[in-house]
Amino acid sequence: MSVMYVGEALVLEGNDLPNVAHIDLVIGPKDGPVGEAFANALARQSQGHTNLLAVISPNIPAKPATVMITKVTLKGSKQVMQMFGPAQAAVARAVVDSVVEGVIPKDKAEEWCIVCGVFIDPNANDNKKIYKNNYEATKLAIRRALQQKPTIDEIIAQKETKHPFE
């Protein structure tokens, strides 16, 4: 049976909405549904939605291999550079640090892959905050995915919680 873990995290400091990070991801074996989604994400590009591998720096990719999916249409070079710069480095380092810390088992680094949806607000204006927030959100989403958190009981107990963007 194939395994697919699902994680989500939002990181926002105070009311700094333009630099919010919201990560949705799936992680699992390359020979399962996550691997299929990974390959499709790289093979099926569209204007304004350039999917890219998460790399720490050129020629140093994250392991497990991670493809970043843009959750909004990228409009203009500033937003593209934020995705290909601080967001890309943050996601890659968060993945590798999750291996180092034992959240992702090291023996799965070659067997698994990650599909990671990344949100970059068109009004984002601080590359350091983009990096920090996406790093924290990616680590949290991975941890939640692999710990299968929150549980259904935790969700039911908090179902009346107000969404911050309501």
Ordered domains of the chain (ranges, CATH): 5-148 (3.30.230.60)
Residues that are catalytic: 22
- What's the pLDDT tens digit per position in 53-73? 999 999 999 999 999 999 998
Give the whole-angstrom CA distance, residue 74 versus residue 72. Answer: 6
Average pLDDT over residues 142-146: 98
27-58 CB burial, b ≥16 within 10 A, e <16: bbbeebebbebbeebeeeeeeeeebbbbbbee
Give residue-wise pLDDT tens across range 83-138: 999 999 999 999 999 999 999 999 999 999 999 999 999 999 999 999 999 999 99
Mean pLDDT across the stretch 130-153? 97
| CA triple 86-11-27, angle to 5 deg | 75
Q: What is the pLDDT of residue 47?
A: 83
What H or E segment, with its residue span, contains residue 152? helix 152-157
Query: pTM of the entire structure?
Result: 0.94
* pLDDT, tens digit (0-9, with 9 covering 90-100), for 21-57: 999 999 999 999 999 999 999 999 888 788 999 999 9
